[in-house]
């Protein structure tokens, strides 16, 4: 310890306590909802569940996982996440490769850069975007959720910075061996960039899993909703009629515990990938904040 004054010791104790409490507060809501989801209907309706299940039961999860509509939304959510990430990352890697070339080797690079950066700063807004998506045949298909947002300019910037830091010999060797740009990027660059690609993919997956608004405006019925949009209609709009829970069974298990279980299942994929995310995002933010 560098500081030994009594005042600092007092401060230290208070500081540990304060930070400890504050940190726990950041997950308490999640713990609460998890506890509710594992509690009996009686306990949940009596409002006695805090952070530990009362009258432990898996009924709510049984109900949720036995609900075809929920399972369908879950599958569409996964489909959307996988498809969206694959499309977006392919486009990002290809664009980043070209933009990672220096200005004198790739004339026109500057023009492309501004083309993308301007898109970051200005957009047409909700209604015109909605009209364009509707008029290009994507309306009411899963493509409306994965194509319009595929060009992630921020990911392109991070990826091209990564490519720039690869040794120049790598590309020179490939070119001497007669590989074109296409082969260089797909059979060499993507393999040596796997850590960066994995990281950006993880973040893209989180964005897709969490997106709910596009599903609600571009898809016409809740049968086609990915999980986030589906949860939005039940949880926020409280629209239980659409969710396929049998009203009689609902009596037995209380809509509160079922809701809680659905919310928790929606959050689960994020909780699972969180340790991997945490490993990278600190680095990513710091890289991103340094002038590229």
Partner 1 sequence: MNKLDTGAASTSSVPSGKKASRAASYWKRTGMLHVLLLPAVIIALIYGYTPMLGIVIAFQEYEPWLGIRNSPWVGLEHFEYLFNYPDSLQVIKNTLIISGMKIVFQLIVPVLFALLLTEIAKSWFKRAAQTLVYLPHFLSWVILGGIFVDILSIRGGLLNRFLAVLGIDPIFFLANGDWFRIVLVVSDVWKEFGFSTIIFLAAIVSIDPSLYEAAEIDGANRWKQVLHISLPSILPIIIVVGTLSLGRVLDAGFDQVFNLYNPLVYEKGDIIDTFVYRIGLLDAQFSFATAVGLFKSIVGFILIVISYRLAYKLANYRIF
- Can residue 161 be called a binding residue for partner 1 (CB under 8 A)? no
- Can residue 136 be called a binding residue for partner 1 (CB under 8 A)? yes
- Can residue 219 be called a binding residue for partner 1 (CB under 8 A)? no
Q: What is the Cβ-side half-sphere exposure of residue 232, based on CA atoms within 13 angstroms?
A: 16
Among 60, 133, 158, 196, indicate the residue that binds partner 1 (CB under 8 A). Answer: 133
Q: CA-CA distance, 230 to 80, in Å (whole number)?
A: 13
- Can residue 289 be called a binding residue for partner 1 (CB under 8 A)? yes
| Least distance between partner 1 and beta carbon 146 (Å) | 11
Q: How far is CA 159 from the centre of its chain?
A: 18
Query: Three-state DSSP class for 211?
Result: coil
- Can residue 266 be called a binding residue for partner 1 (CB under 8 A)? yes
With respect to partner 1, which residue has the nearer C-beta, 33 or 71? Answer: 33
Please choose, out of 64-72, 73-81, 171-179, 190-198, the segment that lies near partner 1 by the rule CB under 8 A: 171-179
User: Taking a C-beta distance cutoff of 8 angstroms, is the pair 227, 193 a contact?
Assistant: no
By CB under 8 A, the residues from 193 to 212 that bind partner 1 are 206, 209-212
With respect to partner 1, which residue has the nearer C-beta, 196 or 226? Answer: 226
Q: What is the Cβ-side half-sphere exposure of residue 210, based on CA atoms within 13 angstroms?
A: 9
Residue 176 host element (H or E): helix 168-176
- Can residue 141 be called a binding residue for partner 1 (CB under 8 A)? no
- Can residue 13 be called a binding residue for partner 1 (CB under 8 A)? no
Please choose, out of 56-64, 66-74, 117-125, 240-248, the segment that lies near partner 1 by the rule CB under 8 A: 117-125
Helix extents (H) in 26-67: 28-37, 41-45, 59-65
User: Taking a C-beta distance cutoff of 8 angstroms, is the pair 207, 277 a contact?
Assistant: no
With respect to partner 1, which residue has the nearer C-beta, 107 or 167? Answer: 107
């Amino acid at each position: 310890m560098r500081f030994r004054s009594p005042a600092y010791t007092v401060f230290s104790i208070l500081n540990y306590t304060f930070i400890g409490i504050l940190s726990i507060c950041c997950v308490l809501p999640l713990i609460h909802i998890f506890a509710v989801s594992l509690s009996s209907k009686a306990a949940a309706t009596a409002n006695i569940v805090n952070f530990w299940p009362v009258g432990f039961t898996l009924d709510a999860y049984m109900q949720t996982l036995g609900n075809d509509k929920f399972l369908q939304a879950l599958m569409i959510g996964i489909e959307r996440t996988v498809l969206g990430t694959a499309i977006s990352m392919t486009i990002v890697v290809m664009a980043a490769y070209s933009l990672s070339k220096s200005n004198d080797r790739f004339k026109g690079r500057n023009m492309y850069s501004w083309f993308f950066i301007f898109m970051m700063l200005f957009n047409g807004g909700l209604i015109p975007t909605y009209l364009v998506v509707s008029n290009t045949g994507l309306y009411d298909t899963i493509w409306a959720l994965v194509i319009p947002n595929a060009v992630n300019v921020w990911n392109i910037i991070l990826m091209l910075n990564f490519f720039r830091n690869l040794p120049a010999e790598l590309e020179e060797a490939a070119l001497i061996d007669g590989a074109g740009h296409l082969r260089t990027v797909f059979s060499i660059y993507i393999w040596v960039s796997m850590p960066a690609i994995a990281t950006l993919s993880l973040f893209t997956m989180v964005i897709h899993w969490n997106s709910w608004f596009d599903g609600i405006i571009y898809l016409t019925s809740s049968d086609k909703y990915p999980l986030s949009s589906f949860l939005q209609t039940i949880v926020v709009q409280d629209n239980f009629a659409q969710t396929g829970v049998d009203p009689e069974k609902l009596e037995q298990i209380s809509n509160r515990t079922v809701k809680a279980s659905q919310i928790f299942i929606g959050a689960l994929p994020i909780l699972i990938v969180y340790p991997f995310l945490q490993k990278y995002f600190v680095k990513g933010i710091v890289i991103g904040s340094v002038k590229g």
